[in-house]
Structure 1
Amino acid sequence: MGGSIELRVSQQVDDWLNWLPRWRPGTHRGRSRLCRTCFGSPVIAAAGLATDVPHAVQHALAMRLKHLIDAEVDEFTETHLPLLLREIRLNEERKQAALTYRPAEGLDPAYTGLDLDPPAMPDAPYLFTFAELARPEASVALPVDPLPLTVEEKAAIRAEVTRADEHAALVGGRVCAELSRHRERMRSAVTEFAEPWVLALLADLDTALDSPLWPRGP
């Protein structure tokens, strides 16, 4: 990826700001568990979006910056960590051989990492789920595993993993520092484009709960 981290963060924020006016709250599904990407994320905290912001809005930003950090770490790995790079490529070959279809790949950052299959409706006919389509076929021949690693090679790979983690933390810190510079315009965009939809949903909920058929108090 070209350009400095500061420039790339600014570009990702611009992309997110361009996407936000098109966001609409989802009504087909409630989350059954916390999102590991967004809950407690230092990126979301640095952006000033940790509270009173819909999860989908947080997630769209968090995934854009996660991709940025991952790309930076991948570049560092390719340049400085040959043993770790070899193991990553071998693992990718196994995954490629095991899966004939990957529905989660190639999604827009706003949808990356989210559940693909909504809860089934009780009366809906059953067809298939994306999770089932992504299961490996039993008849696919997997690549032959290389020779077992020696003790020295394992130690060297662990050392490279540590270096990769340290580099990821370094890049993440720089991303958060730069992201905080854009906090004001991101909060303004949330106030302008996201909050009216949330308020409208709350108004609809209040109307639905205030049924004329319910008994009134004295």
Structure 2
Amino acid sequence: MERSLETQVSQAVDAWLRWLPRWEPATHRGRVAPCRRCFGSPVLSAAGLGADVPHGVQHGLSTRIKTIIDHAVAEYTALNLPMLQAELEQQASRNRARSYRPAEGLDPEYEGMPLDPDPVPGSPFLFTISGLAEAADADVPDLPPLSPDAKAALRQEVGLADDYANMIGREVCTILLHHRLRIQAAIGQYVEPQIEAMLQELTRSLDAPFDPRPEPDP
């Protein structure tokens, strides 16, 4: 039996809560560009994850919720939008023909994240994962072109799919409001102490940057 939207959202939050104790602050250089999936997301606002919550924590939840919305839109498209469904099936077949697909099969915490770090000026990469993926994609033939009438019909169906996605997204946000308390409790238990520890360590480093004395035993 198909799970209700409420059940799917609850299970997604449960899965995120099971993962959260394993989260640790990133120690590498931060990225310059904001995440298009998380920046300004109404899903994260509904969940109570504001800008003060680290992006890695946000991304793990927003990706799980996006999967629910995508699945609902895929079902709607298969039942009601034949032209868009045919186009998606052709694109899926083309994707399967690629010899290198590094962005597939990732855990939710990494799905949609950039494949490569930001380049360092003066230190070019010998190769990049995204560059290898683009080279593999270039070997796959393009999809056949559409007629002007077919393009117009496809745009109309894409608009209907977008409207449905927005409707499901609003429903999901309403459901997430009921999970805010346990989401915020988990942030307080697992995330905030680690951030506070980092700030304390930074304060000690700034107060005595050249102090040769060892740290006292706790």
TM-score normalised per structure 1: 0.86
Q: Which residue type is aligned with residue 184 of structure 2?
A: R
3-state SS of paired residue (1:135): helix
Aligned partner of 1:5: which letter? L
Identical counterparts, % of pairs: 48
Report whether the alignment pairs 1:197 with 2:201: no
Question: 1:93–1:143: 8 Å Cα contact kept in structure 2?
Answer: no
Tell me if structure 1 keeps the 8 A contact 2:94–2:140: no
Query: Residue type matched to 1:209 in 2?
Result: L
Partners of 2:55 and 2:166 lie apart in 1 by 24
Partner of 2:216: none
Whether 1:78 and 2:78 are equivalent positions in the alignment is yes
Question: Structure 1 residue 45: deviation in Å?
Answer: 0.4
Report if the CA contact (8 A) 2:60-2:108 is conserved.
Answer: yes
Aligned partners of 2:140, 2:42: CA distance in 1, in Å? 42
The residue type equivalent to 2:111 in the other structure is: T
After superposition, the Cα gap between the structure-2 partners of 1:163 and 1:110, relative to the gap in structure 1 and judged at 3 Å, is: same
Tell me whether 1:26 sits opposite 2:26 in the alignment. yes
Alpha-carbon displacement from aligned partner over 1:68-96 (angstroms, at most 9, x marks no partner): 10011011111110001111222333444
Q: Which whole-Å CA distance do the structure 2 matches of 1:141 and 1:56 have between them?
A: 33
Paired position in structure 2 for 1:173: 170
How far the C-alpha of 1:109 sits from its partner, in A, is: 0.5
Shift of 1:127: 5.8
Q: How does 1:28-67 map to 2 (within 5 A)?
A: 28-67=28-67
Alignment correspondent of 1:106: 105
Corresponding residue for residue 163 of structure 1: 160
What are the ranges of 5 or more consecutive residues in structure 1 without an aligned counterpart?
none
Q: Which residue type is aligned with residue 46 of structure 1? A: A
Q: Is the contact between residue 63 and residue 109 of structure 2 (CA under 8 Å) also seen in structure 1? A: yes
Q: Is 2:31–2:118's contact at 8 Å kept on the other side of the alignment?
A: no
Paired residue for 2:181? 184
Q: How does 1:83-162 map to 2 (within 5 A)?
A: 83-97=83-97, 99-119=98-118, 128-137=127-136, 140=139, 142=141, 145=144, 148-151=146-149, 153-162=150-159
Query: Structure 1 stretch 83-92 or stretch 159-168: which is displaced more?
Result: 83-92
The aligned length equals 211
CA distance in 1, matches of 2:77, 2:190: 39
Provide the secondary structure at the position in 2 that maps to 1:136.
Answer: helix
Aligned residues of 1:77 and 1:164 also touching (Cα < 8 A):
yes
SS of alignment partner, residue 63 of structure 1: helix
Whether the aligned pair in 2 keeps the contact of 1:100 and 1:136 (CA below 8 Å) is: no
CA distance in 2, matches of 1:25, 1:117: 19
Change (3 A) 1:172 1:125: closer
2:91, 2:143 within 8 Å by CA — same for their partners in 1?
A: no
Whether the 8 Å contact between 2:83 and 2:157 is mirrored in structure 1 is yes
TM-score by length of 2: 0.86
Cα deviation, residue 131, structure 1: 1.6
1:28–1:118 Cα contact (<8 Å) kept: no
* Contiguous gaps of at least 5 residues in structure 2: 212-218
Q: C-alpha root-mean-square deviation of aligned residues, in Å?
A: 2.6
